[in-house]
Copies of this chain bind each other. A is one copy, B any other.
Amino acid sequence: MEKTLDVLTKEQILVATEDTLRRFGVAKTSVTDVAKVLGVSHGSIYRHFNSKAELLEGVTAKWLNDKIIAPLSEVCHDSSLKSTSLLKQYIQTLVELKHDYARDDEEMFQMYTRVTEQAADVVEQHIDHIVKQLADIITREGIASDHPVQLARTLFYATARFHHPAHAYEWKNPLIDQEFLNVWTLLEHGIS
């Protein structure tokens, strides 16, 4: 029962891929498995994604957008917070989201981490998105006038230990929240 090709969207393929990955794991998931779930030929998948690697990158990009960027965008436009409180809330939300997913969905988080290591473009776009939103807050709230993008990127790098997936093993330490607050407090002093 092959579905009509033009109704098969990239989004549908990515949702089916994520389901398949959750059931079989990365190693045992093939393009053919995803096609079977959708009831289409694997040619229909290749029309949108050239390889399994591209499919994994697509799933990872979607995960980063849905699970990390979407809630961060809400914080970015939260009018109840001002100045460095808004900046702190944004970075703290980023940190908490990463910690939550690393703990509650460990297997998928590790999958995304591995894909991320090989998909430099996906990560670069993700970081650029976050830096842009941070710079937006910095400019909008009048926190710094000179180099908002540079300050945004510097804040992102100085807090890497708390949101870069390579440090996930350190997030199990009960001191991690306090350690983040200590780093943030020092950075906030540095900004003002």
Of chain B, the residue at the smallest CB distance from A150 is: B182
Taking the closest CB of chain B, its distance from the CB of A47, in whole angstroms, is 33
> Does A24 lie at the interface of the complex (its beta carbon under 8 Å from any beta carbon of B)?
no
> Does A186 lie at the interface of the complex (its beta carbon under 8 Å from any beta carbon of B)?
yes
Q: How many chain A residues have a CB neighbour from B under 8 Å?
A: 25
> Does A183 lie at the interface of the complex (its beta carbon under 8 Å from any beta carbon of B)?
yes
Q: Given the complex of chains A and B, what is the CA–CA distance between A169 and B119 in angstroms?
A: 13
B182 touches A154 (CB 8 A): yes
B190 touches A186 (CB 8 A): yes
Taking a contact as CB atoms closer than 8 A, the residue among B161, B166, B179, B187 that contacts A186 in the complex is: B187
Which residues of A approach B to under 8 Å, CB–CB? 117, 150-151, 153-155, 157-161, 164, 166-167, 169, 179, 182-183, 185-191
Q: 4 closest pairs, A vs B, by CB? A: A190-B190, A166-B166, A189-B190, A160-B161
